[in-house]
A and B are shown apart, each in its own frame.
Chain A
Amino acid sequence: MKFIIYAILILAAAAIWQLIRVVELAAKLKGVDPNRVTERDNRMNGRFFFIFMIVMWITSLWQLWAYSDDLLPEAASAHGVEIDWLMNFNMLIIWTVYLLTNTVLFVMAWKYYGRDGQRATFYPHNNKLEMLWTGVPAIVLFIIIFFGIRLWNSTLAPADKSVRLVEIYARQFDWFARYSGGDNQLGKSNYKLIMGVNELGLDSSDIASKDDVILPKSDTIFLPVNEEVNFRLRSQDVIHSAYFPHFRAQMNVVPGMETFFHFKPTITTDSMRTITGNPEFDYVLLCNKICGASHYNMQMKIVVGTKAEYEAFIARKVKFLPDAAAEVKPAAPAKVDSMPKADSGVKADSVIN
């Protein structure tokens, strides 16, 4: 089988080469230099550019139409709707520019192919024209910049203190989530405390960590619909990126610092299943910064539900240090006092955002 494929390839190459030789010899017989570009070549390639242009229109618009269903469903967050609007606005502009300028380019190539005995027009410059195509793009770009920066600033503005704080913690190749509990404060942590079951390196001496709820790796994050959530992102080892494509949210997760992204989910998982017509639809968090061999499979499921569902969900989860002292032992190491003092809580405020 392999032999046949190789043989076909070699024969095809030989055939093409022979064909070209024939063309060359024919040209030589006519006394023409076979490598000189003739009017016929010019006409042919000009037409090819024209055909290419038509095919380009058809295929790119076909892709736009055919693949539009394969793209992400409508944005499931408040700011995501605005991002989608701005994306469509910009897409409209760039599709127009893409189709128009390519069309003009290929029409020029087709129309002005070289003919024997013809002479080009000497036309070295035209200041008015050049001002036109400096000015028009400049104006369009300023509009794009204005809308872009406005949305960027509103999306990335620091979240209010009252917004529910949830930590996303990354390591090769798992995600963890930690809810801040009733006090809406995440307890301090220190990477030097990571040991055994204390996978996030929490400091059990910090009172704020007592009501924190840690989801085991690859568990499901539950978010109440229409309530803003502020994600604090930390990494244990390398840079990861927390990417929530359905919510149009993403932020890098960088070891040694904290980053933040907040958004408001607006569509429950159930509603999204109806919208997409896919009963198995789920929101996901995926890693979008190269982080090692299993980068392609670092994910966590996200469920958006009602407030009541959320309360039920969180009630089922175990707090980091439940009030009942007897339950403390399996969760928190006994030798906490001898461990280095946590410091990352101090850093939190000094980091941007």
Chain B
Amino acid sequence: MKRDYFPIIPIVVFMALMLLIGSSVFNGGIVNTQPQFAGTFPLDSFKYLVLNLIELPAIIIVMYAIYKIKKENKNKTNA
């Protein structure tokens, strides 16, 4: 059923929105004024890439869950 995917949609949308916010920050659209970041975490594309790669385990888990739901639904249809 389509409804089985509903709880996954917010997670995917949320992650996509944050990537969008992240890209605007790292492209220099927003100047961060917090003093604790001065010189510690430059807003460059390499760091942006690293933060994206950190999400890989989450993306794999979400995709695996989608695969399991698909498989369950297929089994239900066959039964």
A and B bound? no
